[in-house]
Amino acid sequence: MSKTIKRLIFCLAVMFAAPALAQDAEAPIQKLLQEHGDVIAKSSRKTIGPAIDALAASGLPAAQRVLERWQAKEMWRDEESGLFVFAEEIDRDTIRVFDPADGAQIGAVPDKGFKQLKPNSGIRGMIGAALVQFQLGDPDPVTRATALDAIERDPEASHLAALRKVVDSEGDPKLKARKARLERLLTIRFDEDDAARIEAIEGFAGDPAVDVRATLNPLVATRVEFAETAPQGDDIARILKPGDAALPRTEAYALLVKDGIAPPILTRSDKRTALIDNIRDGAVGGYRVAQLDTEANRDAAYAGLVEAGIASAAASEAEIDATLAGYVFFERFTGARPTVARSALAALKDIETKVGLNRAADLVLDALSLASIYFLAAIGLAITFGVMGVINMAHGEFIMMGAYTGYVVQQIIPDYTISILIAIPLAFAVTFGAGVAMERLVIRWLRHRPLETLLATFGISVALQQIAKNIFGTQARPLTSPAWLDGSLVLNDIVSISYIRIAIFVLALLFLGLFLFVMNRTRIGLEVRSVTQNPRMAGSMGINPDRINMLTFGLGSGIAGIAGVAIGLYAKVTSEMGQDYIVQSFMTVVVGGVGNIWGTLVGATLVGTMQKGIEWFNPSNTLAAQTYMILFIILFIQVRPRGIIALKGRAAEA
Amino acid sequence: MSDLTLSPPARRALVLRHPSVLVFLAILALFTLGVTLLSEGMGAGVISTSFIKTLGKTLCFCLVALAMDLVWGYCGILSLGHMAFFGLGGYAIGMWLMYERTRQIVADSLAAAELPPTAQEISDGIASQIFGVVGASEFPPIWSLAHSLPLQLAAVVVVPGLLALVFGWLAFRSRVTGVYLSILTQAMTLALSLYLFQNDSGLRGNNGLSGLQNLPGLDHVPQAWVSLWFFWASALALGAGYLFCAWLVSGKFSSVVRAIRDDEARVRFLGYPVEAFKLVVFTLTAILAGIAGALYYPQAGIINPAEVAPIASIYLAVWVAIGGRGRLYGAVIGAAFVSLLSTWFTGGQAPDLVLGPLRIQWVDWWTVLLGLSFVAVTLFAPKGIGGLVDLIGRIKNPDRHGADLGPDAGALREREADQ
Amino acid sequence: MTTLLEVSGVSVSFDGFRAINNLSFQIAEGELRAVIGPNGAGKTTFMDIVTGKTRPDEGRVTFGEKSVSLLSLSESRIAQLGVGRKFQRPTVFEDQSVADNLMMALKKDRNPFAVLLFRPRSADLDRVAELAGEIGLSGALYRKAGELSHGQKQWLEIGMLLAQEPRLLLVDEPAAGMTLAEREHTTDLLKEAARTRAVVVVEHDMEFVRRLDCKVTVLHEGSVLAEGSLDHVTGNEDVIEVYLGR
């Protein structure tokens, strides 16, 4: 039966059924729906596509509403007439129906004879995609932004035309920029015109964003093929040589094997299986089983099997080489037409450079933030080591004490901002007190015995660590940062830095400034410097070296406490956290040179940069990075035994 | 030492010049004999096999403490790396033990296969057995000697010795001394342990080497006997090590080494190549530590990178300090006393201490006690337990006119004292 | 007499401060020489350069008839060549006996393995006893050096230097903090030593220098101001200016 007759009969049927409902069966939208009526009613994802496209492309004002209602499962079909209506369920048996053409209410009817259309989620997604073009032009900017999000998530060819239509009319400059960018991305992906695609591709040169790379990458896809002679044609990406990194020899040969051109390579286990299968009376291939304990004998036995026609011949190495030599292997562009692919390749290369630069910038930021952490951790150590010549092995435990102080404060004061503001001075006070006590009780009595001091402070370190473990347990405790420190400062898809790290960096700068001020501009700084240079002379000038030493040690310990709070904010608080930083802190002091704050700064920068730099070369392995860094430092000491910024001459002899 | 300095040195046998050596060897022999007679292996069963192992391990600690005393108490280098050499010795012997035992297991299992195994199949089998835990199935190059007991035994000596030689040469030639040097040795130890912690270090990452208590080919010998053998070997090594150290510190070499400890620059102006002397002491003691480790780990059964971590080396210094440095028996006493006490406390055998409502469990608080008592020893009894011997023998140190030098004052050079 | 030590055109500076400025100095075999100069004249730095403790920025230092350059040698090599040095403060090894101190200084192979295998022969013991006699410490041979008095320590150190059998002896303020009787003994010891080797004595004390009765070199601001007999230099206008003027 021809289509026309079918439609005629259908129309007749509709006309007879019409009196039941006052509905405009002749409305263009209804006609369009009827055109695809069976497909729509069938609701199969495979066949529904043309129906949705037709609706979306119809340009009818009602199309958007129909698609929306359909997606919301509010479209029903009159089973008798085949007409579509919108409907709401009033109760179990009654529905209120509306005319799709203008949305006018028709009336409440029993739902008998009506069938609800229940598009599955796949179809709803397709409808959603089709709806996007309507939403793009929606008066509400939020809806337009949502539509753009939807396209970015799941772009389709149809979106391109829709986008192009609305780009120019967009009033919001931000949305307009987004639309324009998205339009270019879609052009690259879906446009049929190569020139337009290439133009769009070139427009993205040097843009390191992830979505650009995601769009370009499929275009440059290639497939490895082979031929007996060198291929012609501009869709050949490059000629490959078997055995190169891009095409290992075995893979090249496997291609030939797959096409049945060459016999397969037999692995050892294949041969072994074949031999085992053919053992007869304790012998195989002319060899006794007991003899088959070398590969040479097994090969010989297998050759025997081949000769006897029991097993198939395996390609020898020489044969493989000969076979491979007979073919040319090459990569063919499969993602796009060659001109487009080449253009994309060039753009990707450009982007690669840009990405590299951005990565380097990101690395520098990372290194800076690590350096500021090491600086914070080491500055206290540098003070005590520089001024008093004391190596404080318990320094790491002071960091730990500071962090636990922060944790305890957070247990009492739930507001994170206030608790941090309280925790910082409190941590300073606690560790300052601990440092002063340690100086008075232990270190003072071991004056001029640096090695003994080192060991005694180690004893304290062990005791403190275990006490913390006994009190707080072995599991890590959280030190939560206030909400305004959450998240990170994102510069682009590659370069970003978390606010906590920025805060730590600022804190480190603050301490540097504070330290310089105290040492160079205050009375106490003057006294500290004089005690450092010549304690006896300072003592005879009325400065009490004991008091200065005590204060210095307290200060160094107090700064460790604050560093502990800062470190606790981005790492976990455990009783062993001090150990993670102590060696790096020592290294910082040693590399930088003793007795100079700038030395510590340079040392921290060097150690931080080194560690990040090595991690960059071998990103999966931080352990290796630390190992190599320590080795580097041991070698560094060879060149500059007194550190980067070293005192020279008589001052160094003291 | 006093016998040497108060009367003219005569050419007599070493043990006669140093009666303490004879006393020590006698005590060691009696102790070994007593433990053997009371052991499970001999049937008496008063001392359990696991305790024999503990005692054997303690003897190894005593040996490495001797090495530490030599390098620190006599030469003034507070090395925080000797437990790393100890660990390296353990790894060297552990590689052979693990390889050989796995080889036998693999060979046994492959013997049942349809075809007799090739050498490559056996090697692959061993490799996948040993390195399966770190996701590898091939032998790293450092295992290429693992099949040979003599070569691995040589490695016990050569590897720590070579590392000490290279590191010492680098450190000493740049004239790094005092606390700087200590920090640097600690860095070396940390670097080594971090390296071993990696899975691709070729030594099974943090899994370490295990099953070392089973001697290949001696599965039928009960552990009671194996533990006794190792106990005897440890006692023998300690005795020999003690004799060797006593010989080392008996003559002019000891004079020079102690002089280096007290005033390195002055020794240089006497014409002695100070760096070479330090290097000899550092390397020899590293080798001694390696041997001690090679005896220790088969008794412990397992070695992993945590054993090499810097903290272990610091504990070694603690033992020597508590025992009394600058005298050989001090180091032995310290290592034995502290490590046995530590075993007792952390093993949960010590009764809890009840202080009113507080109940102190030693498993948790022993480390605190150790740390604090260590501080107390440094402050109040710098001579350590060995100082008691001086007290009994009424040996008084000379009045130094305020100059605070010598082993009891932390091996400090005058330049440091001037600061 | 042949030149034993020749220092020519040596300069060294610390952080911009020129401690030694184009210094030239010669001493012949078997000569006794006193070096005087005000504080900061560079006397100690001069000794540091000769013994290898400090490397000069420029200049040459040669030693012996073969004119070996000392600049590239380590302290211990220079000492082995025959340059002995006595520091301002007595530095002996206080934890060890006088005999041990002297035995260590005896001229023997300094290689660690040779030292390890070294056992004293009776000739060595006799030499130690003889040296102890010379420095007046025969009775204290087996006492710890730390128990000695300040003067005795100075002598022990001189004894150790003699045991080293150096060809050139550099002595820094040997008489500081000594009693009059001890000074005389010290002078005798140095004069005795100068019979068989070259000796350079750095000293402040003019009386002591006069008693040494030898050629005098005056250092000032890192270079030689005057040289000659004590009477000659004390008559020199520049020297008077430096010591008394300003």
Gap between the Cα atoms of A26 and A573, Å rounded: 74
| Domain that includes residue C200, residue range | 3-244
With CB atoms and an 8 Å threshold, state whether C116 touches B251. Answer: yes
With CB atoms and an 8 Å threshold, state whether B11 touches C91. Answer: no
Q: Which amino acid is at C152?
A: Q
Cβ–Cβ contact B349 with A under 8 A: no
Q: For chain C, how many structural domains are there in total?
A: 1
* pLDDT of residue B396 exceeding 70: no
Same domain for A391 and A325: no
Phi first, then psi, for residue B396 (nearest 5°) are -110, 140
Same domain for A489 and A379: yes
pLDDT confidence of residue A6: 59
- Cβ contacts (< 8 Å) between B411 and chain C: which residues? none
Residue C7's beta-bridge partner residues? C25, C61
Q: What is the distance in angstroms between the Cα of C14 and the nearest Cα belonging to chain A? A: 5
* SS3 of residue B320 by DSSP: helix
With CB atoms and an 8 Å threshold, state whether B270 touches C115. Answer: no
What's the half-sphere exposure (Cβ side, CA atoms, 13 Å) at A315?
A: 19
Same domain for A209 and A270: no
In chain A (654 residues long), the average pLDDT of successive 10-residue segments reads: 57 47 70 78 77 76 78 80 80 80 78 79 77 78 83 78 78 84 85 84 81 84 84 81 81 83 77 82 81 82 81 75 84 83 86 87 88 89 81 90 93 89 93 94 84 88 91 87 82 81 88 87 85 79 86 90 89 85 83 80 88 77 78 79 59 36
- B350 neighbors B344 (Cβ within 8 angstroms): yes
B341 within some domain: yes
Q: What is the distance in angstroms between the Cα of B338 and the nearest Cα belonging to chain C? A: 28
Same domain for A422 and A408: yes
**Integer angstrom CA distances of residue A69 from A84, A108, A127:** 11, 18, 10
pLDDT confidence of residue A343: 86
Q: What is the distance in angstroms between the Cα of A648 and the nearest Cα belonging to chain C? A: 7
* pLDDT of residue B287 exceeding 80: yes
Same domain for A141 and A118: no
Phi first, then psi, for residue C225 (nearest 5°) are -95, -40
- Cβ contacts (< 8 Å) between B259 and chain C: which residues? 93, 96, 104
* SS3 of residue A506 by DSSP: helix
H/E segment holding residue C220: strand C215-220
- Cβ contacts (< 8 Å) between B114 and chain A: which residues? 276, 279, 289
Residue entry with tokens 């979306």: A56
Residue A67's beta-bridge partner residues? none
With CB atoms and an 8 Å threshold, state whether A391 touches B117. Answer: no
* SS3 of residue C203 by DSSP: coil
Neighbours of A27 (CB within 10 A): 16
Cβ–Cβ contact A654 with C under 8 A: no
With CB atoms and an 8 Å threshold, state whether B365 touches A470. Answer: yes
Same domain for A323 and A214: no
Same domain for A509 and A420: yes
Size of interface B-C (CB pairs under 8 A): 111
* pLDDT of residue B9 exceeding 80: no
* Binding-face residues of A in 631-650 toward C, CB within 8 A: 648-650
pLDDT confidence of residue A17: 45
DSSP string, C68-133: EE-TTS-HHHHHHHTEEEE-SS----TTSBHHHHHHHHSS----HHHHHH----HHHHHHHHHHHH
Cβ–Cβ contact B277 with C under 8 A: yes
- Cβ contacts (< 8 Å) between A648 and chain C: which residues? 14-15
Residue C228's beta-bridge partner residues? C216
B6 within some domain: no
Query: B138 CB contacts (<8 Å, ≥6 apart)?
Result: B124, B127, B131
**Integer angstrom CA distances of residue A477 from A573, B302, C94:** 5, 31, 54
With CB atoms and an 8 Å threshold, state whether C95 touches B262. Answer: yes
Residue B46's beta-bridge partner residues? none
Gap between the Cα atoms of A336 and A187, Å rounded: 13
Q: What is the distance in angstroms between the Cα of C230 and the nearest Cα belonging to chain B? A: 30
Does residue A473 come out as left (phi exceeding 0), alpha (psi in the -120 to 50 range) or beta? Answer: left
DSSP percent split of chain B into helix, strand, coil, nearest 5: 70, 5, 25
Cβ–Cβ contact C16 with A under 8 A: no
Letter string b/e over residues B221-231, b meaning 16 or more CB atoms within 10 A of that residue's CB: eebbebbbbbb
Cβ–Cβ contact C112 with B under 8 A: yes
pLDDT confidence of residue B213: 87
With CB atoms and an 8 Å threshold, state whether B191 touches A638. Answer: no
With CB atoms and an 8 Å threshold, state whether C17 touches A651. Answer: no
| Partner residue facing B370 (CB), from A275, A448, A462 | A462
Inter-axis angle of helices A49-57 and A63-71, nearest 10: 140
Both structure tokens of A563:
């560093």
- In terms of Cβ atoms closer than 10 Å to its own Cβ (0-12, 13-18, 19+), residue B233 is middle
pTM above 0.90, yes or no: no
Using CA atoms of B364, B368, B374, B375 in order, give the dihedral in degrees to the nearest 10. 180
Residue A629 CA to chain centroid, in angstroms? 26
Neighbours of chain A (3+ CB pairs under 8 A): B, C
- B321 neighbors B306 (Cβ within 8 angstroms): no
pLDDT confidence of residue A446: 85
pLDDT confidence of residue B15: 63
Both structure tokens of A237:
């990406």
pLDDT confidence of residue B399: 43
To test the contact with chain A by mutation, choose from C12, C15, C20, C39 the residue with the greatest count of A C-beta atoms within 10 A, namely C15
Gap between the Cα atoms of A543 and B364, Å rounded: 44
Q: What is the distance in angstroms between the Cα of A647 and the nearest Cα belonging to chain C? A: 9
Letter string b/e over residues A277-302, b meaning 16 or more CB atoms within 10 A of that residue's CB: ebbeeebbbebebebbeeeebbbebb
Q: For chain A, how many structural domains are there in total?
A: 4
pLDDT confidence of residue A15: 47
pLDDT confidence of residue A232: 80
Cβ–Cβ contact C17 with A under 8 A: yes
Give the chain A residue whose CA is nearest to the CA of B113: A276
pLDDT (tens digit per residue) in C213-227: 888 888 888 888 888
- Cβ contacts (< 8 Å) between B184 and chain A: which residues? 590, 634, 637
- Cβ contacts (< 8 Å) between C96 and chain B: which residues? 5, 255, 258-259
* Binding-face residues of B in 31-90 toward A, CB within 8 A: 78
Neighbours of B170 (CB within 10 A): 16
Gap between the Cα atoms of A516 and B225, Å rounded: 67
- C115 neighbors C203 (Cβ within 8 angstroms): no
Residue entry with tokens 């390098």: B71
Residue entry with tokens 């192009």: A164
| Domain that includes residue A275, residue range | 222-337
Q: What is the distance in angstroms between the Cα of A444 and the nearest Cα belonging to chain C? A: 25
pLDDT confidence of residue B12: 58
pLDDT confidence of residue A435: 94
A479 within some domain: yes
Residue A105's beta-bridge partner residues? A98
Query: A258 CB contacts (<8 Å, ≥6 apart)?
Result: none
A166 within some domain: yes
Both structure tokens of A263:
């016999």
pLDDT confidence of residue B413: 36
Using CA atoms of A401, A406, A412, A413 in order, give the dihedral in degrees to the nearest 10. 160
- B156 neighbors B92 (Cβ within 8 angstroms): yes
Please, which pLDDT band fits residue B418 given cuts at 50, 70 and 90? very low
Pairing verdict, β A84-89 and C3-14:
unpaired
**Integer angstrom CA distances of residue B189 from A377, B192, B234, B306:** 21, 5, 25, 11
Residue A84's beta-bridge partner residues? A77
pLDDT (tens digit per residue) in B147-201: 889 999 999 999 999 999 999 998 888 888 888 888 889 888 988 998 898 887 8
Q: What is the distance in angstroms between the Cα of B259 and the nearest Cα belonging to chain C? A: 6
pLDDT confidence of residue A3: 58
Instruction: Single out the residue of A601, A573, A436, A585 nearest to residue A511, CA to CA.
Output: A601
Both structure tokens of A510:
């603050």
Q: What is the number of helices (H) and of strands (E) in chain A?
A: 27, 12
A180 within some domain: yes
Same domain for A400 and A275: no
- Cβ contacts (< 8 Å) between A635 and chain B: which residues? 170
Letter string b/e over residues B374-398, b meaning 16 or more CB atoms within 10 A of that residue's CB: bbebbeebbbbbbbebbeeeeeeee
pLDDT confidence of residue A649: 39
What's the half-sphere exposure (Cβ side, CA atoms, 13 Å) at A450?
A: 26
B27 within some domain: yes
| Partner residue facing B412 (CB), from A448, A535, A590 | A448
Cβ–Cβ contact B319 with A under 8 A: no
- C71 neighbors C156 (Cβ within 8 angstroms): no
| Domain of residue C65, CATH code | 3.40.50.300
H/E segment holding residue A102: none
Please, which pLDDT band fits residue B412 given cuts at 50, 70 and 90? very low
**Integer angstrom CA distances of residue C121 from A380, B207, C103, C108, C127:** 56, 56, 11, 12, 10
Give, rounded to a whole angstrom, the gap between the first and last alpha carbons of chain B.
Answer: 31
With CB atoms and an 8 Å threshold, state whether A623 touches B183. Answer: no
| Cα–Cα–Cα angle for B253, B255, B260, rounded to 5 degrees | 95
Both structure tokens of A236:
């050949």
To test the contact with chain C by mutation, choose from B254, B262, B269 the residue with the greatest count of C C-beta atoms within 10 A, namely B269
Neighbours of A495 (CB within 10 A): 18
- Cβ contacts (< 8 Å) between B272 and chain C: which residues? 76, 110, 115
Q: Which amino acid is at B61?
A: F
Q: What is the distance in angstroms between the Cα of A466 and the nearest Cα belonging to chain C? A: 39
Same domain for A227 and A207: no
With CB atoms and an 8 Å threshold, state whether B5 touches C97. Answer: yes
Gap between the Cα atoms of C168 and C70, Å rounded: 13
In chain C (246 residues long), the average pLDDT of successive 10-residue segments reads: 84 80 87 84 85 87 86 88 83 86 89 87 88 86 83 86 89 78 82 85 82 86 84 82 65
Domain termination residue (choose one: A188, A220, A252) = A220
* pLDDT of residue B296 exceeding 80: yes
Q: For chain B, how many structural domains are there in total?
A: 1
Please, which pLDDT band fits residue B292 given cuts at 50, 70 and 90? very high
Give the chain C residue whose CA is nearest to the CA of A646: C15
How many percent of chain B have pLDDT more than 70? Answer: 89
B327 within some domain: yes
B307-322: average pLDDT = 90
Q: What is the distance in angstroms between the Cα of C96 and the nearest Cα belonging to chain B? A: 7
| Partner residue facing C95 (CB), from B7, B253, B405 | B405
pLDDT confidence of residue A2: 58
- In terms of Cβ atoms closer than 10 Å to its own Cβ (0-12, 13-18, 19+), residue A594 is buried
Gap between the Cα atoms of B416 and A389, Å rounded: 9
Domain termination residue (choose one: A522, A547, A575) = A575
What's the half-sphere exposure (Cβ side, CA atoms, 13 Å) at A539?
A: 7
To test the contact with chain C by mutation, choose from A596, A642, A647, A650 the residue with the greatest count of C C-beta atoms within 10 A, namely A650
Same domain for A447 and A303: no
- In terms of Cβ atoms closer than 10 Å to its own Cβ (0-12, 13-18, 19+), residue A532 is buried
- Cβ contacts (< 8 Å) between A536 and chain B: which residues? none
Same domain for A213 and A118: no
- How confident is the prediction for chain B on average, in pLDDT? 84
Please, which pLDDT band fits residue B275 given cuts at 50, 70 and 90? very high
| Domain that includes residue B46, residue range | 20-418
A291 within some domain: yes
